[in-house]
Structure 1
Amino acid sequence: MKKNLLSAAVTAAILVPAMPTFAQQDAQMVEEVVVTGSRIKRQDLESVSPFTSISSEEFKISGNLNVEQKLAELPQTMPSFGPSSNNPGDGTARVDLRGLGSYRTVVLVNGRRYIPSTQTGVVDLNTIPGTLLKNVDVVTGGASAVYGSDALAGIVNFQMVDDFEGVQITSLHDVTTEGDGAKSNIDLTMGGNFADGRGNAVVYASWSERESVMQGDRDFSSVALTESGGQLIAGGSSGIPGTLVFDTGTTFNSDGTSRAFQDPADRFNYAPDNYLQLPQERFLISSFAHYDISENATAYGEMAFAHNEVPQELAPTPAFTTISVNPNTPFFDAAYQDELRQMNIDAGVDVNTPVDLFVGRRMVENGSRQSLDTRDAFRILAGVRGDINDDWSYDTYYSHSNLENTNLLNNDVAASRFRQALLVTDDGMACQDTSNGCAPLNIWGAGNISQEAIDFINVGATNKTSITQEVFSASVSGSLATLPTADEAVGVVFGIEHRNDESTYRPDSFLSAGDVLGFNAGKATVGSYSADEVFTEVNVPLVQGKAGVESLTLWGAARYSDYSNIGGVTSYATALNYAPIDMVKIRAGFQQAVRAPNVSELFLGQSNGFPSADDPCAAGNVTAETDTALCSATGVTAGSFNQANSQIEGLFGGNPDLQEETSNTFTFGVVVEPMDGLDVALDYYNIEIEDAIDVLGGGVNNVLDLCYNVVKDISSPFCQAITRRSDGNVQIVEVLNENIGLIETSGIDLNVNYGTDLAFGIDGGSYLSVAFNSTYLLDFDQTPIADLPERVNYCAGSFGNTCGAPRQEFNWNSRITWSSGPLTLSALVRYLGESDDDVIANSDVAASDLVVPTIDAETYLDLSVGYAMSENLDLNVGIKNALDTEPTPLGDAQEQANTFPSTYDLLGPRYFLSASYKFD
């Protein structure tokens, strides 16, 4: 069926599976193309791996300002950091294919590596201009042999417009139905040909702004929830404005009188002080140019600059630390003075001796903690491509990327000054140590800290990160002989590549010395590595146009990489594509990929973090598997104390002795085109990662579980990693990077596309397209200890402190679009399946014993209307989350905001309006 211009335009807006009907028809209009996932030029658009493409029209009609929001809607991706990632978060936006980690997904722009924005090598999607996109290609199933290290899960390739002519202004504004959280942007694109059409240059500039929403602005997130008595109740932190002394279980009223701490009634609700949507201001400028030097040589270049500011805001500093207190301190009542003096008597020392206490104090008088990340990213690329003769061509380029990240931390508390200011004279009028202008600090009751004391203990920090990447690549591609049984020649590629990555993170002296209470302390991270690589690909048409074998093609790729830090490693891939008849295509592939450890994994200076975790020795967490004798041996009686906080401090850091990860990926797919306008793609994938790089045991929660419930050996590295406080609570768990065990995942992708002309509509005709994309997750298993293969964390269909964000077994979305003349109506339906608390699958805990055993399945509906007002002016209006779907409230097994904010919509319905005008 020959499509008219209307049907072709609408089809371009569909999420495309591998080998769709329209792609093959488009292939007749080009001589040779390069498909993402391979460097070989060919006359078809068939991919050797599971492949999805998102066109620029999809971004336009969906009203997405940030590209990561659209990618997060794909069933093949697991939402990573984004606009609601406040804590944890770092201001970046990321993509995570198959849930294997964003650092195992390679992000490309025009088929080439882009600007790394973190020391893990992750690309911040905030640096990629959404309006300039031609399409986004997603290849899953491993691609290290073609694109190098990191591509264990696959690649995301952003194809940019590089031949624009004219001037175009595009703008987008959206706002929630609550009237908050507005997002705005305006883009200017200018381009044109020069030198009698031998060259073209495009310049693009964009400004965007996103307003903040606080957790207190929504009912479901306004109170930090916890689990108690079989229900969700208001919880929070034991670091409270009135101060909690853990040693005596005492807190204080505003007048300094002491009383017993009531748990959880006295806990501090930190939720309202946290962002639910992070504000952002971003400026981008990009340019693309090419010029035909001769018939056989085209020079091309790219330039990009991104300035991005994203703050985070957290509740005031929770000061958990050991202090020395003068028992005669006048800030608390006589009853507590007597209690402290009695402690000295019991210890056999003078009654006036300072007493050591472990306290939790929420420093509300100091204001909310603020972290502002400002990232300035720059990239320049220059290359030459062309034809050697009719059969061979070449492409060579050099790129240089640099990112400078300045991180400002405000309203933290200096630990040393906090302790100094608490040890006061008997009259409370002065510090016992008056150095540095010490002012007495009264934490004994809410609201009692003077401004002089705040000025003395308040500290800010400035941290600098610098990241540089250089890439040189050269390749030749061409055709060899044609086999007697085929019509097309054998295609090959040979190439070399050199890559150098180096970065430094230099924390403020307060952070590096650990002299902070509210932000995570950390040491400097400085390191670099380089890789010299050779690669090749071959595509062999074995049989074509025979009975029962319409086509049979063998594809293969290999890459040898010599890393300065780990030595030589090899990746390879092969795929067989078979079409018994024209409407049926079958493919099978195997890839062995590698990922070299990145700078952060190798050289990360030791730093602190506070992940959610359960202490097996704490009340409510003791199970039949818990070794209670081991709890006693490590200094605590099982079940005798309540866990102070749902977050437990971990010590993280790099390991220069890490080796590469290795993954084996098997894919098998069938694409059927039973009729004009309909194609169905079914793909199975199985990915296995050996020697996976992770923290010891897979995380703080895993280490605690392994120590007390699995290994049960006090001399094991897991038990040795745990340090406890005198009150029984875990003080810190040391989890440095290791090559740990195994990660295995498998699933099935089903993609269906249908498009047809209709005999009604404006001017008597219209076009209807329906796209359905889905993933069914069969397995996601983590074996954190190679020596304990029987110890497996089963995460398919689960969420929680072990498995992290929900890995639903079944996710799908469907885009339905009807277009006639200048009018386009479209609806996107997204379905996220239910998931269970991971303790059900991994700890034999019954669902009936949990307060929130399951996160319900959620359905989202987005609606949009587009209208071409004229040949120059296009308008789009729509509503996202039209059903006002809210997430399931969670207690202790949440990430933040009583949910997993990157997975679920948090802000309710939001309206958007976009307009595009192109000048003649």
Structure 2
Amino acid sequence: MKKNLLSVAVKGAISLTAAAVMVPAMPAFAQQDAQLVEEVVVTGSRIKRQDLESVTPLTSIGAEEFKISGNLNVEQKLAELPQTLPSFGPSSNNPGDGTARVDLRGLGSYRTVVLVNGRRYIPATQTGIVDLNTVPGTLIKSVDVVTGGASAVYGSDALAGVVNFQLVDDFEGVQITSLYDVTGEGDGAKSNIDLTMGGNFADGRGNATVYASWSEREAVMQGDRDFSNVALTESGGQLVAGGSSGVPGTLVFDTGTTFNSDGTSREWMDPADRFNYAPDNYLQLPQERFLISSFAHYDISDKVTAYGEMAFSHNEVPQELAPTPAFTTVSVNPNTPFFDDAFQQTLRDMNVAAGVDASTPVDLFVGRRMVENGSRQSLDTRDGFRILSGFRGDINDNWSFDTYYSYSNLENTNLLNNDVAASRFRQAILVNDAGTACQDTSNGCAPLNIWGAGNISQEAIDFINVGATNVTSITQEVLSASMSGSLATLPSADEAVAVVFGLEYRNDESTYRPDSFLSAGDVLGFNAGKETVGGYDAQEVFSEINVPLVSGKPGVESLDFWAAARYSDYSNIGGVSSYATALNYAPIDMLKIRAGFQQAVRAPNVSELFLGQSNGFPSADDPCAAGNVTSDTDTALCSATGVTAGSFTQANSQIEGLFGGNPDLKEETSNTFTFGIVAQPMEGLDIAVDYYSIEIEDAIDVLGGGVNNVLDLCYNVVKDINSPFCQAISRRGDGNVQIVNVLNENIGLIETNGIDFNVNYGTDLDFGIDGGSYLSLAFNSTYLLDYDETPIADLPERVNTCAGVFGNTCGSPRQEFNWNSRITWTSGDLTLSALVRYLGETEDDVIENNGVAASDLVVPTLDAETYLDLSLGYAMTENLDLNFGVKNALDTEPTPLGDAQEQANTFPSTYDLLGPRYFLSASYRFE
């Protein structure tokens, strides 16, 4: 009955919304002779307020910040905030998928809700994240960042917080904006041009705004910079040139043999023989992007306004990787003429030892870098579309309403080029004694000579080369209807009690349709994956209340109580609830104290529930491999799982994992506590100090928290061959890990807490171009006290400490202390500004979590880094503005890493990679 009633309500609201947008122009009613007070809805609450006080910690970035910083991609500006952990962006090549993301508190992009004008936007992946490439940067009025759980206000996913882009939707005139950005090396250019047009109609009762944008970003390769042109590894107590054991000359793991270009065999030399894959990878991904947005509103009457939004985005971002590393078992004819007599005899001897005929094909595990096949290429093309229509208005002097319906759709086409078909690779290697034909000649097989670099014929390449096309379709429908207003005023306060009531319906559906080669696993260079199809809907009821308890009393300038609650009925997990409370107390006008508690929930998304099993290759350490065995390692368990501890060298720093969804997942639950003080000790000076503590229970992640964790838990912690961690590991004949099965689970607990300290100061000065000027200073910082992950609920004593560390367990650096500070001086038409960013020092996570001595590591710490950005703006005329600047003016480079890196010998999303960048932007407005 509950579902039926809610369905009737939301369907009725849909009809009402559609009717509002289609209502023709009507004569306006006479305005009442009453003084109107502009009300503002603060991000973090739907209650309309006459002040800009947030009930939870909030950071706001104004449009001027984007203008003077020269950021073409908005995620780069958000990544500079101390409250965020840099996520996918322009340098995310592998891993990467062409999206740009924001990750609040480092809790995962899928735990951050991204809104546009307070409403959900186009989802870009099956995890539900929003690609920030689709947000029109020139239209941004402000970006509000609320950290801490916000599910009670905005629904599922908001465990870490909310990022709300407030866009211009009432523009008048025509404005052209352009930007050109290039590195000091003269490469990696970025350029864009935006056109914004808008105007009022119907005697000012309506406005329509249209925005169009084109942008392009040029590629930079890892080979173009000294710190990234060689894949580094750790050997002999120093960083040395390393790379992959998949080499152009082929490595036979069973015998430790590699081959010269003439087919002669020799002993494999590690690491000297490894393949340097770095130069073939992007350091900055190229991009081409088109955006079109439109906004319109029309006052049907003095009481009712119809409004609508439309957005379209076309975004192309390729990735490029080194040629396919073919790691697979092949059957080889001992009489193959492509290699020398010595290796022929080695294979015959293997057959004799096995008690079979000397000429019987031998199974070998090989690593072959398919340089003759060209670099692997992946092109993601995302076409996103969103339409929204709604109406808002006043019911009477005290109550108002807002209802809307939005439909979003995204089509992601992923093209893969220059891969190798595994079945054809194996077929083409097994040749006749003369090497002139395949033993199996079906499908036009051509003999494949992998025994030495440069020996593969074009005919063989044509036979084994394969491409793939994968398509992801995502749709989201949202229907929301809310009513807000005021109740009675308490005798002890000056303001009325404010309340909001609302209903919301959301439906998410998506499909991932992989090419037949990928779904069958018949590929060697890209991650194989199965189809992902699924969806769910949620019907929700929410409410908020703000109660001014006391105001204008001695010792109590104001005391407000705020609360929010939401009940959600999900089609897949059933009913869940979330709530939030906050108390805001101002003993005097210049001092405010706020404390809040929120319990938020996050339902598992389509990917987590239904992801088809797929392969990935994260960085990981095998505890049984030489150099990785410690006093905690159960060497007997290594033997029981088929390998002698320390008897082999780990083939690659990346170990294959099998990932996939789990339809039996349950929701995550988080508890967030915040306590803060906001002080205004003098005119122009604001100081905010906020403590936060976030705890996520039943966190959804892969088994054990990842491939590296599963290996560690099996051999160093649990030490039980029957445990799910040891059972997830399988090995090859040479001892190396073949694959680790890490499907999704509700794994355990994530806890983090810290302190934000922010200062804003502005003052008029009595000197300048026109005899005066204005100086402003903004300082934002975060001190991370703790970030702990307990990947196994049954092992509460096993905690991964991730505050102040980086590495294969904890991932990207989580500095204990980050800050940035902008100083801006404005006088007349001139604006000078400087931004200083500081990233604190971090250490390798094996020091804290595995007891490894820092002296045993080649790079135990990542140095603290300081970046300086400078800009100059000048209003040439009333309508023409110019901005010039340089980013990373100090040419700060990252600390090079070996095995504990993400890519490019560093963490590209965290640190600046390309040196100084110079930008010039111009904006001209036609009135």
Question: Which TM-score bucket, shorter chain as reference?
Answer: over 0.9
Partner of 1:7: none
Partner of 2:28: none
Deviation readout 1:108-132 (Å, 9 max, x if unpaired): 0000000000000000000000001
Give 1:418-497 correspondences, 5 Å limit. Answer: 418-497=425-504
2:549 alignment partner, one of 534, 537, 542: 542
Task: State the secondary structure of the residue aligned to 1:718.
Answer: helix
Query: 1 CA distance for matches of 2:868 and 2:235?
Result: 35
Give 1:258-297 correspondences, 5 Å limit. Answer: 258-297=265-304
Deviation readout 1:124-177 (Å, 9 max, x if unpaired): 000000001011000001100000000000000000001100000000000000
Deviation at 1:708, TM superposition (A): 0.1
Task: State the secondary structure of the residue aligned to 1:78.
Answer: coil
Q: Which of 28-37 and 161-170 deviates more?
A: 28-37
1:322 alignment partner, one of 329, 332, 355: 329
Pair 1:823 & 2:830 matched: yes
Pair 1:33 & 2:51 matched: no
Partner of 2:913: 906
Task: State the secondary structure of the residue aligned to 2:137.
Answer: coil
1:671 alignment partner, one of 667, 673, 678: 678
1:890 alignment partner, one of 867, 887, 897: 897
2:717 alignment partner, one of 710, 714, 719: 710
Deviation at 1:684, TM superposition (A): 0.1
Task: State the secondary structure of the residue aligned to 2:227.
Answer: helix
Query: 1 CA distance for matches of 2:618 and 2:436?
Result: 40
Pair 1:799 & 2:806 matched: yes
Task: State the secondary structure of the residue aligned to 2:300.
Answer: strand
Structure 2: unaligned runs, 5 residues or longer: 1-34
Task: State the secondary structure of the residue aligned to 1:898.
Answer: coil
Partner of 1:249: 256
Query: 2 CA distance for matches of 1:528 and 1:795?
Result: 34
Pair 1:153 & 2:181 matched: no
Give 1:83-482 correspondences, 5 Å limit. Answer: 83-482=90-489
Give 1:722-871 correspondences, 5 Å limit. Answer: 722-871=729-878
Q: Structure 1 runs of 4+ off > 3 angstroms?
A: none
Partner of 1:648: 655
CA RMSD of aligned residues (A): 0.6
Task: State the secondary structure of the residue aligned to 2:518.
Answer: helix
Pair 1:574 & 2:581 matched: yes
1:498 alignment partner, one of 498, 501, 505: 505
Query: 2 CA distance for matches of 1:313 and 1:892?
Result: 21
| Amino acid of the structure 2 residue aligned with 1:911 | Y
Task: State the secondary structure of the residue aligned to 1:763.
Answer: coil
Query: 2 CA distance for matches of 1:204 and 1:640?
Result: 63
Partner of 1:16: none
Pair 1:510 & 2:517 matched: yes
Query: 1 CA distance for matches of 2:50 and 2:100?
Result: 35
Deviation at 1:911, TM superposition (A): 0.3
Query: 1 CA distance for matches of 2:685 and 2:494?
Result: 27
Partner of 2:8: none
Deviation readout 1:29-69 (Å, 9 max, x if unpaired): 95311100000011111001110000110000000000000
Partner of 2:527: 520
Deviation readout 1:594-650 (Å, 9 max, x if unpaired): 000000000000000000000000000000000000000000000000000000000
Partner of 1:19: none
Task: State the secondary structure of the residue aligned to 1:625.
Answer: coil
Deviation at 1:239, TM superposition (A): 0.1
Task: State the secondary structure of the residue aligned to 2:53.
Answer: coil
1:82 alignment partner, one of 71, 75, 89: 89
Query: 1 CA distance for matches of 2:910 and 2:360?
Result: 53
Aligned pairs, how many? 893
Task: State the secondary structure of the residue aligned to 2:347.
Answer: helix
Partner of 1:73: 80
Task: State the secondary structure of the residue aligned to 1:339.
Answer: helix
Partner of 2:7: none
Query: 2 CA distance for matches of 1:32 and 1:859?
Result: 40
Return closer, same or farther for 1:819/1:326 CA change in 2, 3 Å cut-off: same
Task: State the secondary structure of the residue aligned to 1:762.
Answer: coil
Task: State the secondary structure of the residue aligned to 1:764.
Answer: coil
Query: 1 CA distance for matches of 2:903 and 2:804?
Result: 20
Structure 1: unaligned runs, 5 residues or longer: 1-27
Deviation readout 1:211-252 (Å, 9 max, x if unpaired): 000000000000000000100000000000000000000000
Query: 1 CA distance for matches of 2:851 and 2:590?
Result: 48
Pair 1:918 & 2:920 matched: no
Normalising by structure 1, we get a TM-score of 0.97
Partner of 2:60: 53
1:617 alignment partner, one of 624, 627, 651: 624
Task: State the secondary structure of the residue aligned to 1:149.
Answer: coil
| Amino acid of the structure 2 residue aligned with 1:353 | T
Task: State the secondary structure of the residue aligned to 1:839.
Answer: helix
| Amino acid of the structure 2 residue aligned with 1:717 | P
Partner of 1:21: none
Task: State the secondary structure of the residue aligned to 1:741.
Answer: strand
Deviation readout 1:842-861 (Å, 9 max, x if unpaired): 01111111000000000000
Query: 2 CA distance for matches of 1:386 and 1:845?
Result: 63
1:695 alignment partner, one of 702, 707, 722: 702
Partner of 1:6: none
Deviation at 1:656, TM superposition (A): 0.0
Query: 1 CA distance for matches of 2:627 and 2:60?
Result: 48
Query: 1 CA distance for matches of 2:840 and 2:194?
Result: 36
1:559 alignment partner, one of 566, 575, 589: 566
Task: State the secondary structure of the residue aligned to 2:770.
Answer: helix
Partner of 2:614: 607
Query: 1 CA distance for matches of 2:810 and 2:306?
Result: 48
Deviation readout 1:816-848 (Å, 9 max, x if unpaired): 000000000000000000000000110111111
Partner of 2:592: 585
Query: 1 CA distance for matches of 2:47 and 2:128?
Result: 26
Query: 1 CA distance for matches of 2:85 and 2:242?
Result: 29
| Amino acid of the structure 1 residue aligned with 2:699 | A
Identity percentage of aligned residues:
88
Deviation at 1:763, TM superposition (A): 1.0
Deviation readout 1:777-823 (Å, 9 max, x if unpaired): 00000000000000000000000000000000000000000000000
